[in-house]
Structure 1
């Protein structure tokens, strides 16, 4: 049976992650409150942030920035897009 959560992003009962994404309290918070669908959307947002801000993900500064953005994306107002960001045309 799938791990079900009340997703903080969608305000609905949805399928959750198979396991916590990080070995930390924050990873447990995500596991208990974020759906698989919202997590997949975060991964796309994270790629965009890495590219737009030209972040090097192995640096402490980039990691701290991404955690702040992730917290805002799931548990805050959703996070703002970079001013220069132009969404790709579909």
Structure 2
């Protein structure tokens, strides 16, 4: 059985991340408090934000913006959404 963590996003015990998703103390904190499903949901939102808002990941302001959005998402606060995004329909 895999390791579990009490997820701060979903407020229940879920599968843990296998390794810190970011370097340093912040990555260790995320690994200890965020579940694998929550991190995958964040990655999907992050990808939409980068693509739809045309963020340049070499720009420190774009990276700071994404880090702020990540914290808001994981803490169940309102986040920006990608304008014009339409989720795929189930066939």
Fold similarity call, TM over 0.5: yes
Partner Cα separation in structure 2 for residue 38 and residue 70 of structure 1: 11
- TM-score norm. by structure 1 comes to 0.86
Q: In the alignment, what sits opposite 2:67? A: 67
How far apart are residue 60 of structure 1 and its match? 1.2
How far apart are residue 78 of structure 1 and its match? 4.5
Q: CA RMSD in A?
A: 1.6
The SS at the match of 2:27 is helix
Greater than 4 Å deviation, 4+ residue runs: none
Q: In the alignment, what sits opposite 1:50? A: 50
Q: In the alignment, what sits opposite 1:88? A: 87
How far apart are residue 88 of structure 1 and its match? 2.8
The SS at the match of 2:5 is strand
The SS at the match of 1:73 is helix
Structure 2: give runs of 5+ residues left out of the alignment.
Answer: none
How far apart are residue 61 of structure 1 and its match? 1.4
The SS at the match of 2:6 is strand
* Aligned length, in residue pairs: 89
